[in-house]
């Protein structure tokens, strides 16, 4: 098991270091990076709080906190992938050369689409976790609240399929960003 203090220190540092870039992205209205920043900060903050509260034991001190954070822990990897797809989608549009100047309406439409995708899919993952979880959560000494899962067919359909599907979509966008050799 990872030592408690270094883990807490690294998660605290990662949380703090990601605040300034998130503020900068919010100031510039970049919806994909905003979503990514929110998911990364939330994930690191939860890991820090869990490690701090359960540094020395595994006593169930905060059941409501665990209920909430376990859902976010399930959704965070999916949220990060969705955010990256939003970023790659925007970059693919910019690189395509069809339009490099976006109107306010196009930026607003893209932002709404990005927010719905980057938070909607993870919310779906959070909502459906109840189908395949054997119990609400587990507590690990030094790491805190932990999601539990039984691998059954609903788990594959409702959760395990998302990372590979989203990675495939990201790969398609990354392929669209690849330079085309003219010759």
In this structure, are residues 2 and 142 in contact, taking their beta carbons and an 8 Å threshold? yes
Confidence of residue 181 (pLDDT cuts 50, 70, 90): low
Sequence-ordered alpha helix ranges (H) in 54-152: 63-96, 104-132
> Quick one: pLDDT at residue 11?
92
- Supply the pTM of this predicted model: 0.88
Res 2 pLDDT > 60: no
CATH superfamily of 4-177: Rhodopsin 7-helix transmembrane proteins (1.20.1070.10)
> Quick one: pLDDT at residue 123?
95
**Rounded (5°) CA angle 75-115-164:** 45
User: What residue segments make up the domains of the chain, in order of their start?
Assistant: 4-177
**Rounded CA separation 74/65 (Å):** 14
Tokens linked to 39: 């998911």
What pLDDT, in 10s, does the model give residues 18-39?
999 999 999 999 999 999 999 9
> What are the b/e assignments for 96-119, b being 16+ CB within 10 Å?
eeeeeeeeeeeeeebbeebbebbb
Res 140 pLDDT > 60: yes
Looking at every residue in the chain, the average pLDDT score rounds to 88
> Quick one: pLDDT at residue 132?
83
> Quick one: pLDDT at residue 178?
66
What pLDDT, in 10s, does the model give residues 39-63?
999 999 999 999 888 888 888 888 9
CB under 8 Å to 7, separation ≥6 — which residues? 47, 51, 142, 143
Res 162 pLDDT > 80: yes
Tokens 């960003």, located at residue = 177
Tokens linked to 104: 């306010």
**Rounded CA separation 98/100 (Å):** 7
């Amino acid at each position: 098991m990872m030592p408690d203090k270094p883990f807490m220190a690294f998660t605290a540092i990662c949380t703090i270091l990601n605040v300034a870039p998130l503020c900068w992205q919010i100031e510039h209205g970049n919806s994909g990076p905003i979503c990514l920043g929110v998911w990364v900060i939330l994930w690191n903050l939860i890991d820090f709080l869990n490690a701090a509260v359960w540094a020395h034991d595994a006593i169930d001190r905060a059941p409501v906190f665990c209920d909430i954070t376990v859902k976010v822990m399930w959704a965070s990897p999916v949220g990060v992938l969705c955010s990256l797809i939003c970023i790659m989608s925007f970059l693919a549009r910019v690189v395509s050369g069809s339009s490099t100047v976006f109107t306010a309406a196009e930026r607003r439409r893209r932002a709404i689409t990005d927010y719905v995708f980057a938070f909607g899919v993870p919310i779906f993952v959070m909502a459906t976790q109840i189908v395949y979880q054997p119990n609400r959560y587990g507590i690990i000494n030094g790491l805190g609240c932990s999601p539990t899962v039984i691998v059954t067919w609903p788990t594959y359909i409702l959760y395990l399929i998302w990372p590979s599907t989203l990675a495939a979509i990201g790969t398609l966008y990354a392929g669209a960003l690849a330079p085309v050799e003219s010759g």
